Amino acid sequence: MRHSKTIAILAVALLGMPWSSSAQSASGSAADGAIPRDSITSRLAELRRIHTPEGIEVVEPIEVNGSTQWLSIRGLNRANPILLVLHGGPGSPVMGASWAYQKPWEDFFTVVNWDRRGVGKSFSPADSARLGPTMTLQQLVDDAAAVVEHLLARLGQEKLVVLGYSYGTRIGPRLVEQHPERFHAYVGLGQAGGPDAERQLYATLMERVRAANDTTAIRELEALQPYPPPAGPGAVDKLLAARRWAREYDGGWYGKPTFDLYFALPEWGPEYTEAEVANLRPAMAWAERHLIDRAPEPRPTRLVERFEVPVVILHGRFDLHTPYENARDHFDRIEAPRKRFVTFERSSHMIMFEEPGRLLVALVEEVLPLAGGSASFREQASSREPGSFRE
């Protein structure tokens, strides 16, 4: 894969391992002195190992509404509040990239990453034809409800916190609306802002490229008109083309012109095999086309504005993938028992990488109290004592 060397250097920096400039290929073969992928992933896995007797660390498949889907469940104390992450994309799971940012979250929450039907570890080329017709927003909401029931039963809790990221913010509010009794709170990270969001993205982007007199960007963006595109075949190509230029102008990852690094991080994700890493981009494209391009189902426009649980929105000031202004306007219309909007002043759409310390503080100060705070450890427990329930 294109960015193996970049990510290997990052892993070497984290782990203090020797590095050869002749990086291994994506197939896993290593030149003299290079570090094999298995060595990187195994050391990252050991660095992240959960050793507490109260902890949990599992990657497991479950059956969800007729399909096999995968979960990663990690935390220092399984009695801590559950934080279920609904990834974006719609086909871009974060499980394989979580090694780069998630470990501090696990001190306070039991963090669950879920690869939805047809993406990430849950993608099977042999099964895609059968799953294709089931790829609807409501099906993803129904799948999420089943995952929630599984997690509450597995961890012996009555409620959890759901965190939607990007496209996951379309699933999360509907999930909470339909099953409010199962949730402490809803958290939107990069909150989708409704039917005007694409128009805002395009208008703001055109302002930026014209101010820069970027004739190439102006020409290519004007060629996308009418924008936003109508739902149906070809829509996803236009949406992605606009976002590629948005990233060039700080609308994706503040200070970075592409998502290349983000897409490369799963190459060293211990949760994934090499074959699963190789399938990530095909699965992403498959999910995008089934959820966005497929006609006659329209692009979802209805936004949930009345919540029976507290709402916390975490948003980057420069975000154009889910434009900041639209997210703020949507938040102002929300009715909830408690609501809070936190702005990250030097972030766009990748807050977990752009301002990871501030994101952790927001999760601990704004979200954790809504779930009752973190649990206490057992007094004088040893990781070697008999009967430890760490998984």
Q: What is the pLDDT of residues 262-295, one digit of tens each?
A: 999 999 999 999 999 999 998 998 888 888 876 5
pLDDT value of residue 27: 40
Residue 202 sits at the vertex; the CA angle it makes with 162 and 168, to the nearest 5 degrees, is 10
Q: Find where tokens 């984290």 sit.
A: 14
Indicate the average pLDDT of the chain.
88
Judge contact between 24 and 12, C-beta under 8 A.
no
| Residue 62 phi, psi (nearest 5) | -135, 155
28-32, 160-164, 188-192: least confident range:
28-32
pLDDT value of residue 365: 98
Of 21 and 61, the structure prediction assigns the larger pLDDT to: 61
Q: pTM to 2 decimals?
A: 0.88
Q: How confident is the model at residue 2 (pLDDT cuts 50, 70, 90)?
A: very low
Residue 211 sits at the vertex; the CA angle it makes with 205 and 215, to the nearest 5 degrees, is 80
User: What does the longest C-alpha to C-alpha distance in the chain come to?
Assistant: 68
User: Distances from the Cα of 57 to the Cαs of 68, 211, 227, in angstroms?
Assistant: 20, 49, 45
Judge contact between 187 and 162, C-beta under 8 A.
yes
| Residue 78 phi, psi (nearest 5) | -70, -10
Q: How confident is the model at residue 250 (pLDDT cuts 50, 70, 90)?
A: very high
How much is the average pLDDT of 303-318? 95
Q: What is the pLDDT of residues 92-142, one digit of tens each?
A: 999 999 999 999 999 999 999 999 999 999 988 778 888 888 889 999 999
For residue 167, pLDDT over 70 is answered with yes
For residue 7, pLDDT over 50 is answered with no
Identify the top-confidence range among 30-44, 171-185, 369-383: 171-185
Q: How confident is the model at residue 35 (pLDDT cuts 50, 70, 90)?
A: confident
Judge contact between 84 and 160, C-beta under 8 A.
yes
Of 295 and 198, the structure prediction assigns the larger pLDDT to: 198
User: Distances from the Cα of 214 to the Cαs of 149, 221, 238, 250, 352, in angstroms?
Assistant: 51, 11, 19, 15, 30
Judge contact between 353 and 253, C-beta under 8 A.
yes
Per the DSSP assignment, residues forming a β-bridge with 84 are 112, 162
Q: How confident is the model at residue 381 (pLDDT cuts 50, 70, 90)?
A: low
pLDDT value of residue 15: 43
For residue 259, pLDDT over 90 is answered with yes
Of 387 and 213, the structure prediction assigns the larger pLDDT to: 213
For residue 24, pLDDT over 50 is answered with no
Judge contact between 200 and 206, C-beta under 8 A.
no
| Residue 384 phi, psi (nearest 5) | -105, 0
151-165, 182-196, 350-364: least confident range:
182-196
Domains, in order of start, for the chain = 1-47 (no CATH), 56-371 (3.40.50.1820)
- AA letter at 381: A
